[in-house]
Amino acid sequence: MVIQELIPLDSPSKWQQTLTGIQHTFFHTWENCKAMYLSSKFETYLYHFATDDIKIICPIAERKFSDYVDILTPYGFSGFVGNGDLPEFSSHWKKFIKNRNYVCGYIGLNPIFDNSTYFNHDEAQQYNNIYILDLTLTEEELLKNLSKNRKRQIKKWQKSGSNYILEKSSLINFFLDNYHDFVLDRKAASVYNFSKETLSFLLNLENILLVGAGNSNKVEAVSVFGYTPHVGDFLFNISLPEGKQHSVALLWYGITQLKSLNIPIFNFGGGIRENDKLAEFKERFGSQKLPLKCLKEIYNPEIYQKLCQQVNADPNDMTGYFPPYRKP
């Protein structure tokens, strides 16, 4: 017997129960998907596939364009995850999605829990990398694997008189007061333009770790981490101009705290572009690089071509923004 269903956001208990027994990230959770909905307002679901012994899940969100709907994975590194191999899964997925009358889908994949039997790897496109740390190593081993510059920065910070700030309300207030100016100053992509409602919801979750740094208890920088029992994810870092010096120390604090919770993997995320300075910054923590891939699937070729033609987009261009008829 095969079950395929979409669990809506208004069923948080069922969503959370469905995740049981599957290694998953913070980005698969009801909490993250609810937060993203508060900005996007896209109808968001947990896709759930089950047979007698295999369960596979993936969060998806529906977007309307003209009179049609396409889908995408919400912000973050989620994608298909499950509890076993199933080579025939792709045919079940495509049949289910076709019956939903979606035009196309952008499915982000998480290389940490990637299962090659869930999709045709020839259809997956690499667009970046992520960097991960093995938190089952001892703290001494993690320190040893840091680059010389990272070790020097941590020691310098420890001698600087700066201190960690953990009082949650102060950190939340700082983050909410400074987030939008911070991303605007850095000309960040529009995907980071989260509403204050989204940010406030995220920061008050139980599976979020907040840490700040500054001098004389004045907050100058804050880092935010999300986690499940399976992996911790670096979400945000924002700072005042004088707070840039704290970035390495805040990351190191997050790494060691997540390790203390017996979480086995830490995901730094990637650079803005492949192998850029931000990527190099993360790699110097002794991290391992994994290829970040996505699926760009067309379920209704006729309607897909029609929508591309409406905006003079090339329906055959699968290398850039997808779907091309939505290109900003």
> In the chain, what are the domain boundaries?
3-130+291-326, 136-263
Tens-digit pLDDT profile for residues 195-237: 999 999 999 999 999 999 998 779 999 999 999 999 999 999 9
> From start to end of the chain, where are the E strands?
3-8, 43-50, 55-65, 68-72, 81-82, 104-108, 124-134, 163-165, 208-215, 218-227, 232-239, 265-269, 288-298
Fold of 3-130+291-326: Aminopeptidase (3.40.630)
User: Residues in the chain with pLDDT < 50?
Assistant: none
Q: Name 68's Cβ contacts closer than 8 Å, sequence gap at least 6.
A: 103, 303, 307
- Peptide bond before 229: cis, by omega within 30 degrees of 0? no
What pLDDT score does 187 carry? 85
Cβ atoms within 10 Å, residue 100:
14
Each residue's pLDDT tens digit, 52-66: 899 999 999 999 999
Q: What is the pLDDT of residue 186?
A: 84
The encoded tokens of residue 249 equal 């120390």
Q: How far apart are CA 214 and CA 178, in angstroms?
A: 15
Q: How much of the chain exceeds pLDDT 70, in percent?
A: 100
Residue 291, pLDDT score: 93
- Beta bridge partners, 210, equal 224
pLDDT at 274: 79
What was the pLDDT predicted at 216? 75
pTM of the model: 0.95
Q: Which fold has domain 136-263?
A: Aminopeptidase (3.40.630)
